[in-house]
Structure 1
Amino acid sequence: MFDFFPSRTLTVYLAKMFALRIFAVLVMLVLVLMMLDLLSTSGDILAVPGNGQQELLTYASLRVPQLIQRFLPYSVLLATLITLVTLNQNSEVIAMKAAGLSAHQVLAPLLLTALALSVFSFVFNERVVTRATATLAAWDAAEYGPIPQASGVRANVYVTEGSNVLTARQATGRGEAVALTGVTFYRRNAQGSLIEQIDAATARYAAPGWRLEDVRRFDVATASTTTAPDLTIAPGLSPSQFDLVEIEPDAVPFWELGPAITTFAEAGRRTSELRAKWWHKLSGPLSAFLMPLLGAVAAFGLARSGQLFVRAIIGMALGFAYFVVDNAALALGSFGGYPPFLAAWSPFFLFALIGETVLIRTEE
């Protein structure tokens, strides 16, 4: 089975060259995008009293993992084109083929490196990016105030009790221990017209009902506002409803998202979007493995024939076409247009076949 790879020396040489270029391109992309992001966000962060350089660094530490997750496949694509074009221009590909290596054997070290990177990407996404995404979402919901330290933070919660609506800027904890901050309760009549709006700083479960603190009440009929230290509302609203609020798949690890989907399905909730995102947590990192195959067209053909630039453009077009189709299929799967499994995996297998077909028809 190891005959698929070239010699050990050549394998290490190609894999090292490829890995260094991936790292260089990724660092370049992340630094540029992070600077642009800070230019647009730093004003909001520094507008909060007490925020300074430390908060900017905290924001960057939370945002960088998201940028790495999003742009790692693009980095692999660009590094593939840079590596293969360089090898072609230096006639190294010609030398390898003259030594008896097939096109697949030339690509084997790059594919192995990309596969290892896909495994790393999956672990990094589920162990680091999900936590950063959850914390950043909660911090953004707090308008860049003190970062919530509690576990299970959910931002912008929305639940109903009959015709009444309760919203919270943040919800922390699970079950009867759930705590709400930035609470607004809209009391409506049977026709759906607003009767009263109640704002409160915090709320906790009172078994039954929810005890609000630092309350401000606005009566629509009289247009009057009153305040109270506390108030109990919504006796029909159970803590389990907050456990079934909308899940942000990017903020939940793969092994926790599966049981959550099962819970949603048992409660009769729509799960097509969650299932598509769950499958995409596997297929998404594997897109890095696909990039050397799609960019392989840039490796072959005589550099002095004048078609090397055209081949590089074709490789880039195939790579970016994959990302476009992947996003479109995922969107269709989220709306129920595709089965979730097909929405997540069909672009990967489709472009794997396209890349393999192009490689075999042109080089093998």
Structure 2
Amino acid sequence: MQASFFPSRTVSLYMARMLLTRTFAIIVLLVLVLQTLDALSESGRILAHPGNGQDDVWRYISLRAPGIAQQFLPFSVLGAALFTMSTLNHNSEVIALKAAGLSAHQVLAPLIAASMIVAAVSFGFNELVAVPATATLDEWKKVEYGPLPVDHGDRLNVWVRDGDDLVNVEQVRGRGDKARLTNVTVFYRAHGTLASIITAPSAVHEGGGWRIPGGTQFDIATSRLVRIGSRIVAPGVRPDQVTLASVDADGETFGELRAAIHDLADAGRPTKALEGSLWHKLAAPISCILMPLLASVAAFGLARSGRLLLRAVIGMALGFAYFVADSFALAMGNLGAYPPLLAAWAPFLLFLLIGELVLIRTEE
């Protein structure tokens, strides 16, 4: 038996290079095909806007391609692993490695190490390229491929929790301490029961709360409506809480999404779906590491048995089953049926065990 977990340096580099080159070739092919189909279906909407032309179509392609590459990179690793292992098996190279005393896990070690590199590159690519491109594309779609508006920080119909009380703002203009609230309604509650309601035409941030110039207060117990003067309301509400907009997880980096979740939680808004998406930003790249294990069924077993194609199909089926389970778990997490950690990591752990079981059962 080899003392090292990896085969020799030459064999390890040979196998890793096979996986990496095939992964790159498959992802380029997938992006070309899928981007062509996507551009054909979307070009009519892009050109329908007055003034748009060929440059805008190419701009759409440049913004859409990173998202496609990020989404289908694990598929590419799966296909590359199947091609690599089928080739090694067909050429009896796996038999030679096992005859040298290597275990099945030692044979797979270079491929798993190479997939770790792919996972790291995938995470970095998503944070630096795919996320900004997706965020810009989403904003462009909202204006039907017209000129992108300047974001002045205006927000509509914002709800914020201040302890047991609720605050509703019809419109928020500006950011930070310069934020100005229009049509403010504060619902004061005592032990979960509505006690009184204050309404004011505006509010500005002052000190530790929001100063209203005056308004009305309706007392629930006495059913009396009285006019009130200037006062501070919602002392526990920070300016960043009322300027929070709806968060698109695909358009936020890991750090930005984590900060947004913290702010939303402080504002009393639901964050379970976003927490699942946050963890999935880690689980999705790491799933690349799982692909060689799921595809290992194509590496072991005698090629001359005539079942190499069947083994490759089984490996492909296992890989696609993982992606189906991953999408299902993430959807359940968005609905609140699964806890965020379970939604993001359960499919990975489940198919890790399935891959190990298949590897042990198929090794001959």
- The one-letter code matched in structure 1 to 2:22 is R
Matches for 1:128-139 after TM superposition, within 5 Å: 128-139=129-140
Matches for 1:269-280 after TM superposition, within 5 Å: 269-280=269-280
What secondary structure does 1:348 align onto? helix
Q: Is the 8 A contact 1:150 1:172 kept in 2?
A: no
Matches for 1:320-335 after TM superposition, within 5 Å: 320-335=320-335
TM-score normalised by length of structure 1: 0.77
- The ranges of structure 1 where at least 4 consecutive aligned residues each deviate by more than 2 angstroms after the TM superposition are 147-152, 157-162, 164-167, 171-179, 238-245
- Residue 103 of structure 1 is matched in structure 2 by 104
1:179-229 Cα distance to aligned partner (Å, 9 max, x none): 9xxxxx9xxxxxxxxxxxxxxxxxxxx966xxxxxxxxxxxxxxxxxxxxx
Distance in 1 of aligned mates of 2:123 and 2:3: 26
1:135-167 Cα distance to aligned partner (Å, 9 max, x none): 001111111112457698x9xx652589x9969
Percent identity (aligned): 57
Distance in 2 of aligned mates of 1:248 and 1:136: 12
Distance in 2 of aligned mates of 1:137 and 1:166: 24
Distance in 1 of aligned mates of 2:173 and 2:62: 22
Distance in 2 of aligned mates of 1:142 and 1:250: 18
Matches for 1:126-205 after TM superposition, within 5 Å: 126-148=127-149, 159=157, 174-175=175-176
- The one-letter code matched in structure 2 to 1:362 is T
- The one-letter code matched in structure 2 to 1:250 is D
- Count of residue correspondences: 308
1:44-70 Cα distance to aligned partner (Å, 9 max, x none): 111222222211111111101000110
Name the stretch that deviates more: 238-247 or 57-66.
238-247
1:94-115 Cα distance to aligned partner (Å, 9 max, x none): 1211122211111111100101
What secondary structure does 1:3 align onto? coil
1:331-356 Cα distance to aligned partner (Å, 9 max, x none): 11122211111111111111111101
What secondary structure does 1:295 align onto? helix
- The one-letter code matched in structure 1 to 2:16 is A
Gaps of 5+ in 1: 180-184, 186-205, 209-235
Q: Is the 8 A contact 2:329 2:347 kept in 1?
A: yes
Matches for 1:55-66 after TM superposition, within 5 Å: 55-66=56-67
- Residue 257 of structure 2 is matched in structure 1 by 257
What secondary structure does 1:159 align onto? strand
1:23 equivalent in alignment to 2:35: no
What is the deviation of 1:133? 1.0
What secondary structure does 1:284 align onto? helix
Distance change in 2, residues 1:178/1:267 (3 Å): closer
TM-score normalised by length of structure 2: 0.77
Distance change in 2, residues 1:262/1:165 (3 Å): closer
- The one-letter code matched in structure 1 to 2:126 is N
Distance in 2 of aligned mates of 1:100 and 1:333: 45
Q: Is the 8 A contact 1:254 1:281 kept in 2?
A: yes
Q: Is the 8 A contact 2:127 2:254 kept in 1?
A: yes
- The one-letter code matched in structure 1 to 2:350 is L
Q: Is the 8 A contact 2:158 2:242 kept in 1?
A: no
Distance in 1 of aligned mates of 2:156 and 2:108: 50
What secondary structure does 1:100 align onto? coil
- Residue 49 of structure 1 is matched in structure 2 by 50
1:86 equivalent in alignment to 2:84: no
1:288-316 Cα distance to aligned partner (Å, 9 max, x none): 11000000001111112111111111111
Distance in 2 of aligned mates of 1:178 and 1:42: 39
Q: Is the 8 A contact 2:16 2:111 kept in 1?
A: yes
Q: Is the 8 A contact 1:276 1:343 kept in 2?
A: yes
Gaps of 5+ in 2: 160-165, 183-201, 205-233
Q: Is the 8 A contact 2:295 2:315 kept in 1?
A: yes
1:360 equivalent in alignment to 2:343: no
User: Which one has the largest radius of gyration?
Assistant: 2
What secondary structure does 1:285 align onto? helix
- The one-letter code matched in structure 2 to 1:32 is V
Distance change in 2, residues 1:241/1:296 (3 Å): same
1:239-298 Cα distance to aligned partner (Å, 9 max, x none): 756632220011111011112111111111111001111111111110111000000001
